[in-house]
Amino acid sequence: MNILVVKANNRPASEAVSSKMYETFINNLEGVNVETYDVFAEDMPYLGQDLFNAFGKLESGEEMTDVEQRILAAKQKAMDALTAADVVVFAFPLWNLTIPAKLQTFIDYVYQAGYSFKYDENGQAVQLMTDKKAIILSARGGIYSTPETAPMEMAATYIKNVVGGVFGMEIKDEVIIEGHAAAPDQAEKIIAEGLEKIEAVAKSLSAVLV
């Protein structure tokens, strides 16, 4: 049983709540095979024409430019990491209502027809990752869980739509820490409660897998 943790914040855990969530999860895992894919540490050129040029040159055998080689290698590395995982944990902040750009690039690398989903003969989308489970760990300073604010939340909602809705992973657990920036007097309590939940999620996973 392999766990892949996609870490999407390079701010220190002493400052960034989602980094603390990542750290808490990792520190409470026991007896499991865990890999971290740190999107800020990886060389990840943005998805664009370079990738399509690289695909063309793979076919033709023409020599690739530096960026074409890098994007092809980076995309393959992300896909290999995801392929090997039984459980995929995403630890990320909400920044400017959405996910960090580096996490978007990870998704861009693995969101591929024939790999994470496909179209059947009737043109219907088919999920290709139904054997995997996903865990969502996300922090957001404001409150986005009310009916009025939820439509603005495009970080956890986006990741769940992609990995759950399109790829077909079962969303096994979701821990959201929210509102600590909006209510600084309650921040300590809000964060501590969220971290406790993460501890329990990590321990339950360890218990299942040991």
Shortest Å, Cβ 132 to ligand FMN: 25
Identity of the residue, 26 or 67, whose beta carbon is nearer to ligand FMN in the bound complex:
26
Beta strands in the chain (DSSP E): 2-7, 33-38, 87-93, 117-119, 125-127, 133-140, 170-178
* Amino acid identity for residue 40 in this structure: F
Residue 141 sits in the site that holds ligand FMN (CB under 6 A): yes
Residue 94 sits in the site that holds ligand FMN (CB under 6 A): yes
Residue 95 sits in the site that holds ligand FMN (CB under 6 A): yes
Residue 23 near residue 198 (C-beta atoms within 8 A): no
Per-residue tokens: 146: 């009310």
Segment near ligand FMN (CB under 6 A); pick from 27-35, 72-80, 92-100, 158-166: 92-100
Shortest Å, Cβ 41 to ligand FMN: 16
Pattern of binders to ligand FMN over 160-199, x per CB under 6 A?
Answer: ---------------------x------------------
What DSSP element (H or E) covers 191? helix 187-209
Identify how many contiguous H helices and E strands the chain contains and give both numbers.
Answer: 6, 7
Identity of the residue, 94 or 129, whose beta carbon is nearer to ligand FMN in the bound complex:
94
Q: Within 13 Å, how many C-alpha atoms sit on residue 146's CB side?
A: 5
Identity of the residue, 142 or 165, whose beta carbon is nearer to ligand FMN in the bound complex:
142
Identity of the residue, 11 or 203, whose beta carbon is nearer to ligand FMN in the bound complex:
11
Residue 116 sits in the site that holds ligand FMN (CB under 6 A): no
What pairs with residue 5 in β-bridges? 36, 89
Q: Strand, coil or helix: what is 161? A: helix
Binders of ligand FMN in range 121-140 (CB under 6 A): 139-140
Residue 11 sits in the site that holds ligand FMN (CB under 6 A): yes
Shortest Å, Cβ 142 to ligand FMN: 3
Residue that has been written with the tokens 């939820």 in this structure: 150
3-state percent helix, strand, coil for the chain, nearest multiple of 5? 45, 20, 35
Q: Which of 27, 33, 65, 96 binds ligand FMN (CB under 6 A)?
A: 96
Maximal CA-CA distance, the chain: 61
Residue ranges that bind ligand FMN, judged by CB under 6 A: 9, 11, 16-19, 93-97, 139-142, 181
